[in-house]
Every structure is written in structure tokens, then in C-alpha cells.
Amino acid sequence: MKQYKTNEIKNVALVGGSKSGKTTLAECMMFESGVLSRMGSVDDGNTVSDFHEIEIERKNSIFSSVMHSEWRGTKINLIDTPGMDDFVGELISSLRVCDTALLTLNAQNGVEVGTEIAWRSLKKHNTPTILVVNQLDHSKADFNVTLEQAQKQFGSGVVIIQYPYNDGEGFNSIIDLLKNIMYKFPAGGGKPEKVPIPADQADLAEERRAALIEAAAEHDETLMDTYFENGELTEDEIRKGLGIGISNRDLFPLFCVSAKQNMGTGRLMGFLGNVAKSPGEMGGETTVDGEELPITDPTTTLFVFKASNEKHTGAMSYFKVCSGEVKAGMELVNLNTGNKEKINQLFTLDGKNRIPIDALSAGDIGVTVKLKDTGANQTLRSKDDGKIIAPIEFPNPKNRAAVLTTKLGDEEKLGLALNKMASGDPTLHHEYRKELKQTILSGQGDLHLQIIRWTLDHIYGVQVEYGVPRISYRETIQKPAEGYYKHKKQSGGSGQYGEVYLRIAPYYEGYSDPGDLKVREKQEIDLDWGGKLLYCNCIVGGVIDTRFMPAILKGIMETMEEGPITGSYARDIIVYVYDGKMHAVDSNEISFKIAGKQAFKQAFLAANPKLLEPVYKIDVLVPEENMGDVMTDLQQRRGIVQGFESQGNYQKITAHVPLAELYKYSTSLSSVSQGRATHEREFLEYSIVPGDVQQKLAQEYKPEKEVV
């Protein structure tokens, strides 16, 4: 395969709802360009892009898949993306390296939930977008309804390039307003016949073409002057105006295809080749320092946008060449880790098929295998000059589950498998929480976690079960209190003796030490689990030797790691050790550790202890007609609504909700909104648990503790 120059490359993402025909469209584009000798089908499980076992089984895209087609001297890199919100990470990483998106609409169903989800991502990432109405050959296809919904949802920027002459079962003709002709396809699709626009469509075609020309002229003063002067624009002039409007996301041209029947795809590819911007025209990548890395920079720079571990090929790193050119055998530096990596092999991809290539130019997309220490979101560069490409920002997890192996002894295998999976899927988080005694798995939704479980079983041979995740509560105090404990043990020979008096108080910014105690030494400890402990030595007269103060602290820390109310971590406490007694022979570190621990526990329980719970800020994007149901659901979850904000046909509700009430919230939200609402969440703060909830949790902990 030849090496394409930067201006001969187009990077295109196929996005849209599930079942809108993205995978079939990709298959058809590859076939039409001659890359494939025959088209596969989703039903037969033999398409280029949906090649994973789970995708063939479910007949849905789950992973993004890189392919290419060649059209009249232009290489069009295609990335087929999943249409479900649970796999939004695959969509986001694809949009990062693509300069144009084809948003597919199912002519049977119009603008669906998946279409809306994809549109939000396109808008957020400012991706130039072309609309493609697919499946026009279906008996229930309705172009006019689909067009109406698209204009309502996406605005006046939707401009018709093509519309069908006869959508439905007899579909075989497309009226092209840019070419001002009609394409009539033979049975089974393929190369169309160019015929005049039928007389019964003349007025409608003229009206729609005038609207197209006016939209194109609006984006260039010279074109506008020409349009006013001549009342017309040439095809090249229309394309120029459309190109400007598309790049600015002011215009969204609409095309018609039946990918399954190979009708209209060639014309779409021609438009991509002529109008869509090449990487060189889109500007360079941004570095972590906010500077632009020009694509013309001669230094080789690769940005790894995706990593995966395939069953038969091992580690694969998908990258975009951001500057310079990459050649097989090059040695590069991972600027994120400082380690060197050698590009032993270089490939262009067609799904699972790898095509060896000697070099790739700036702007192109490729893959290499078996890099030692490089994951997604990392930069490889031939010069170690710190020009790290700004990472992709992935959404926080929306769903949690406790994961447990069904077979004893598989815990280590589980950890290794999850590490590998997370390196290729930045939206998957996992960690073992010591305080919870659980491995917590976090993802984008129920389906995402189901796929993780399937992968663990079928790819890594680890069977797991999911359970309800525990909550990371925190314990603290609300008032000062005193504690005293004398530890005395005599059992022949040297005994144990330690006596400790201490006072505790809540820690907060701007606190003041008590006037009746003189603090001789203060140790401020930033706790691993958040919050602070201030440990103050107020001993006078040497009643407790200085060497025993660390032992007292150790006893206090043991209690803070398993708080008295629910066994949760304690935080934000000041401890003043002000008195005690020693024994000349029997006092030792263990004695004062025990005395400190018991004195602290006694004081803690007397200091009006309170349980804190993690509270999350959530932003719910919901259609206006579903707001009432969503609000009711939030209130039932102890949520406190902070405000509303209109976003097109949607409302964004911001609320503060305890994490304990967010278990399977994604599923519930989908249910009350018919799948149209989505949410994002981020940790906000720890807040006091209501008294009845604290009492219930304390009662649940007490019998559990007694059994232990």
C-alpha cells in the first residue's frame, strides 16, 4: 500500500444510533472504492468492522473499528463507532482524531435516542458533521419525517444536498441538488444512470436548490456578491461555500443512501473527497501547555488514541501521526513516561485485518503492536522536548458494582485482566477498597459492565459475579470531648502499664487551640482517605515520656481506620494528649498504644459523632417532557436540585445526590425518559448523613462487628 501525503487524507468518523446502519455504510464505502471484493452483512456476522465475537453475537458495534477506503487519489480513513451511550468512550476517542463525522439517520425511525446522544458528542467536540439518511429502501422509510425531525433537532443549518425520488420498497432514485440531476440505480445497486430531474419534481427541486445555494453563499462575501449579481453559483462555488459552513459547524449537508443496496455511497464519498477538510487544513494538535503543535513540524509525533489487548495479537496501539512521518523501525520516546519505544511494525487497518506499510505521513491513522509501556492518551515523539499532546477527556463513570470471582484463587487473575482492560478503556475504573473489602468496578452503564463480565469470562477465563457496592462513609465529631484510659496488665515478669488523658475537638479551617492547654508540639497529618488529623503533645512535667507519643498516635490511627460508629474511616479531628502516667518497669509502646486507642474511642463516642457520606454533583440532560418524572425520581433519592438550564430541546438539571442513592441510577433514568436522558456525575463533598440513616447504618454494623 502506498504512503499518502497529508493533503490526500480524510479522517472520518461514522456515528449515530444503534441500528442506523453505520457498519453497513462502512462496508459499502469499502466495497464501492474497491478495497473489498464483496460486501459482508451484520446479520451474517462477516463485516469488516464488527469482528469481535461479542459484536457478532449481539449484532451491534461495541468497539470502535478503524478501516480505510480509497477514492480518486484520496485515502479516507473510516472509524465505525458504537451507537450506545454505554460505549461513549469509543466515540469520544474516535472524534478526537477525525476531522469530519458522518451522522447516520435511520429513515424508518428518524432522529432516535442514539442520534441525539451522538449529536451531543459532536457538538461538544465541535466536529464538522454531514448527515446521511440511510435505509431508504425499507418499507417504513419516510424521508420527509426524518428531514423534519433533523431540522427541528439540529437547527436551520441542515441543508438538503439530496432527497429520494421514491423512498420505500421501490427506492432506486436520488435527486441531487448540487449536481442538479437525478441518479437512477439498477436493481441491486451499483453505478447509477444520470437522468434529468422528473417534471413532477421540478418546482420542489428548484426551491430546495435555491435554499442550498443561498446557504452556501452566506459563508463567503465573494460568493454572496456573485450570488446577488448572477442569481446563481457554479457547482465549485457551492462546494466552496459548503466547505466553509461545514468547517464552522454552521451547515450540516444531508445526503441519501441505501448502504445495504449500494445506492448513493459513491456520491457521498465523492463529496468527502472534494469538500471535507484534510488534517492539514484543520490545524495542529494542542499540547498540555496550551500551545499548538503544527502538523508541519518535522519532528515525528504520534498520539495514541486507543489501546487494546486482542486475544491473538496481544497489545495494539492505535495512533494518529500529529507531525512528521513515522517509519517502521523508528525509536520514539513516550513523553508521558520517559521510556523509549520501538515501532517494529507499522500497519494500516481494515477491522481485524492489518495491512503492513513502511511509513505514514502526518495526519494519517495507523496501528502498531506490542509496545512495552504505552497506553491510550499518551504521546510518542522522536525528540524528548516535552511537547505532550493534550489528553482526551473521558466522562466519569456512571455505574458501580462490586466484582467477586466465583472461583477461589482467581483474584490475582482478575486484577491482571482488569488492568489490561482498563489500559484500553479509559472509561472503565477499578480498585480494591480496603475499607469496603470489595473490588469496585465502575463503568458507563449496565450494558458496559455486562460486556466487561463477558470479556472477563470469554477472553481472560475469569468468571465473576456482581454485587451491590458498599459506600465509603466517613466518621467525624461535632464537639470537644475528653477521654481517659489506663491499661494495666500483670502476668508474671514484666507487665504492661500506660495511662492516657486526652481531649479531642473538630478540625476546621481557622480553628483555635483551647486556652487551658499548652501545645508543645503539633503534628499535622493529611489522611490518605481525605481530611486531617492534628496530633498535639500537651504533656508537661514528663508524665509521659516523649518516646511513647508515637505509640499513642499509632493507637489513635488504628481507631481512625475503623471508626466506632460503622467501621468507616474517621477524619478532621484534633487530638490533645495532655496527661497520663508511666511505670518505671512495665511501661512500653504496646501499653501506650492500647491506652491511646481506648481513650480516643471513649472521647469519640462522647463528642457527638456524625457519619458523613459522599455526595455527588450530577448534571441530568433530559427532554422537557420528561422533567417532572426525573425531578420526582431525584427527590426520592434525597437529591437536592440546584438549578436548571435550557440546552436546545433539553433541560439540564443540576442536583446534589448521595452516592448511596445512585446505585443503578443510569438504568432508572433511562426507564423514566424512554432512554433519551443521560447524566454525568462527579464527586462533590462529604456531607452529614440524616439521623435516621445513621442510626440504621450503625445498627447494621453492630451485629456484624459482634460476629467478628
Q: Give the mean pLDDT of 145-159.
A: 94
What is the DSSP track for 177-243? TTTTEEEEPPTT--SPEEEPPPGGGHHHHHHHHHHHHHHHHTT-HHHHHHHHHHS---HHHHHHHHH
Q: Would you call 58 helix, strand, or coil by DSSP?
A: helix
CA atoms within 13 A on the CB side of 119: 22
Domain ranges in the chain are 6-281, 285-381, 399-470, 475-608, 611-692
Determine the Cα–Cα distance for residues 309 and 316; give it in Å rounded to an integer.
Answer: 6
**Phi then psi dihedrals of residue 706, to 5 deg:** -65, -35
Length of the chain: 708
Q: What is the CATH number of domain 6-281?
A: 3.40.50.300
CA atoms within 13 A on the CB side of 378: 23
Q: Is the pLDDT of residue 449 over 90?
A: yes
In this prediction, residue 707 carries a pLDDT of 42
Q: Would you call 144 helix, strand, or coil by DSSP?
A: helix
What does the pLDDT look like over 263-305, one tens digit per residue? 999 999 999 999 999 999 998 999 999 999 999 999 999 999 9
In this prediction, residue 260 carries a pLDDT of 95
**Phi then psi dihedrals of residue 483, to 5 deg:** -140, 145
Q: Is the pLDDT of residue 695 over 90?
A: yes
Same fold yes or no, 399-470 and 611-692: yes
Assess contact for 82 and 124: CB atoms under 8 A: no
The CATH architecture that domain 475-608 belongs to is 2-Layer Sandwich (3.30)
Determine the Cα–Cα distance for residues 345 and 469; give it in Å rounded to an integer.
Answer: 43
Determine the Cα–Cα distance for residues 21 and 42; give it in Å rounded to an integer.
Answer: 9
Q: What is the CATH number of domain 611-692?
A: 3.30.70.240
Determine the Cα–Cα distance for residues 164 and 172; give it in Å rounded to an integer.
Answer: 8
Q: Would you call 526 helix, strand, or coil by DSSP?
A: strand
Q: Is the pLDDT of residue 314 over 80?
A: no
Residue ranges of E strands in 554-639: 569-570, 573-581, 610-623
CA atoms within 13 A on the CB side of 429: 15
What does the pLDDT look like over 205-237, one tens digit per residue? 999 999 999 999 998 889 999 989 888 999 999
Q: Hey, what long-range contacts does 387-391 have (CB within 8 A, 24 or more apart)? A: 387/287, 387/291, 387/293, 387/299, 387/301, 387/335, 388/287, 388/288, 388/335, 388/336, 389/285, 389/286, 389/287, 389/288, 389/293, 389/301, 389/303, 389/322, 390/285, 390/286, 390/287, 390/288, 391/288
Measured at the alpha carbon of residue 148, what is the angle toward residues 144 and 152, in degrees to the nearest 5? Answer: 170
Determine the Cα–Cα distance for residues 109 and 135; give it in Å rounded to an integer.
Answer: 10
Question: Which CATH superfamily does the domain covering 399-470 fall into?
Answer: Elongation Factor G (Translational Gtpase), domain 3 (3.30.70.870)
Instruction: Provide the residue type at 11 as one letter.
Output: N
Determine the Cα–Cα distance for residues 705 and 708; give it in Å rounded to an integer.
Answer: 5
Mean pLDDT score of the chain: 94
Q: Among 354, 392, 395, which residue's Cα sits nearest to residue 376?
A: 392
* β-sheet bridge partners, residue 621: 652, 678
Q: Among 315, 175, 591, 585, which residue's Cα sits nearest to residue 184?
A: 175
Percent of the chain past pLDDT 90, that is, above it, reads 88
Q: Would you call 477 helix, strand, or coil by DSSP?
A: coil
Q: Among 424, 496, 435, which residue's Cα sits nearest to residue 460?
A: 424
Three cell numbers written together for 360: 505514514
Assess contact for 320 and 302: CB atoms under 8 A: yes
Helices 202-217 and 221-230 cross at an angle (nearest 10°) of 140
**Phi then psi dihedrals of residue 25, to 5 deg:** -65, -45
Assess contact for 79 and 14: CB atoms under 8 A: yes
Cβ burial, residue 528 (10 Å; 0-12/13-18/19+)? exposed
What does the pLDDT look like over 345-401, one tens digit per residue? 999 999 989 999 999 999 999 999 999 889 899 999 999 999 999 999 999 999 999
Other C-beta atoms lying within 10 Å of the C-beta of residue 633: 17
565 — pLDDT class (breaks 50, 70, 90): very high
Other C-beta atoms lying within 10 Å of the C-beta of residue 154: 21
* β-sheet bridge partners, residue 619: 654, 680
703 — pLDDT class (breaks 50, 70, 90): low
Assess contact for 61 and 15: CB atoms under 8 A: no
Determine the Cα–Cα distance for residues 578 and 33; give it in Å rounded to an integer.
Answer: 84
Other C-beta atoms lying within 10 Å of the C-beta of residue 267: 21
What does the pLDDT look like over 457-514, one tens digit per residue? 998 999 999 999 999 999 999 999 999 999 998 876 678 999 999 999 999 999 999 9
What does the pLDDT look like over 618-671, one tens digit per residue? 999 998 899 999 999 999 999 999 999 988 778 999 999 999 999 999 999 999
In this prediction, residue 106 carries a pLDDT of 96
Give buried/exposed letters for 274-305 (b at 16+ CB in 10 A, else e): bbbbbbbebebbebeeeeebebebeebbbbbb
Q: Give the mean pLDDT of 185-189.
A: 92
Assess contact for 31 and 261: CB atoms under 8 A: no
315 — pLDDT class (breaks 50, 70, 90): confident
**Phi then psi dihedrals of residue 221, to 5 deg:** -60, -40
The CATH architecture that domain 285-381 belongs to is Beta Barrel (2.40)
Termini Cα distance of the chain: 67
